[in-house]
Amino acid sequence: MRENKNALITGASRGLGAVLAAFLAGQGHDLVITARGANELKAVRTRLAGFGGAVTAIEGDMTDPAHRAALIDAAARLGGLDILINNASDLGATPLPPLAAYPLDILRRLYEVNLIAPLALAQIALPLLQKRNGLIVNVSSDAAKGGYPGWGGYGSTKAALDLVTLTLANEADGYAAVSVDPGDMRTVMHQAAFPDDDISDRPLPEVTLPFWAWLFGQNRSAINGGRYGAQSEKWQPVREVTDETV
């Protein structure tokens, strides 16, 4: 009999991460979830327990190598890893400053959280993913492409993450990697970016659920290397992997 499907989700205590955790739990996945907020993470774990699967919740900072190792150890105890979702992100300096005046100490920390940590987690997760032809999902943003005023710090980390994702896909051996732009959503991070605005017109993260149901049902090789918009009207398997060298 096939083993249970397993997923590891970072930034799972609220917003998109919590929605994805509930969706996958409902699909029969056993989960490892993590976030920095202990109380919120505990509340999510309690809700997920109602689905009947195994849920391991580990509080911690994704920039801490020991914390990343603990997450992989927990996933290994499940027997393997079908999906790794790198959702945890930091917004950076607020109010959003122009790039010409961006505090470099905050920018360095932002790259550690939004780029180095997800890559480092993917590196040590690969043996578990390769056992199951697993999928790496790196959560991106339209800020990676927009060059929007004030978004240079955050957007540049996501642009770099997109390139890391595509490179991992080009190097894929027994796994697949994709980037996903979830689109504007009514989340705590989005409100922090626009502290004086009413963002009640933005949809909740649940609006992306049809996309995730589609993505997780696709053949891994068909979607490998793709960059997808979760709120786009259509989704198509896109393969940008190439053997060309420059």
12 contacts 18 by C-beta, under 8 angstroms = yes
Q: How far is CA 197 from CA 99, 186, 202, 238, in A?
A: 22, 12, 11, 36
* Dihedrals phi, psi of 107, to nearest 5 degrees: -65, -40
Q: Which residue has the tokens 């918009």?
A: 229
* Dihedrals phi, psi of 176, to nearest 5 degrees: -135, 160
Residue 218: CB partners within 8 Å, gap ≥ 6?
237
* Catalytic member of 13, 89, 140, 156: 140
* Catalytic member of 13, 156, 158, 179: 158
- 158 an active-site residue? yes
The beta-strand segments (E) located in 140-231 are 175-181, 227-229
Helix and strand totals (H; E) in the chain: 10, 7
Provide the phi-psi class of 79: left if phi over 0, else alpha when psi is between -120 and 50, else beta: left
* Catalytic member of 154, 156, 175, 179: 154
- 140 an active-site residue? yes
Q: Of 185, 177, 141, which is closest to residue 160 (Cα–Cα)?
A: 141
- 145 an active-site residue? no
Report, as residue numbers or ranges, the catalytic residues.
140, 154, 158
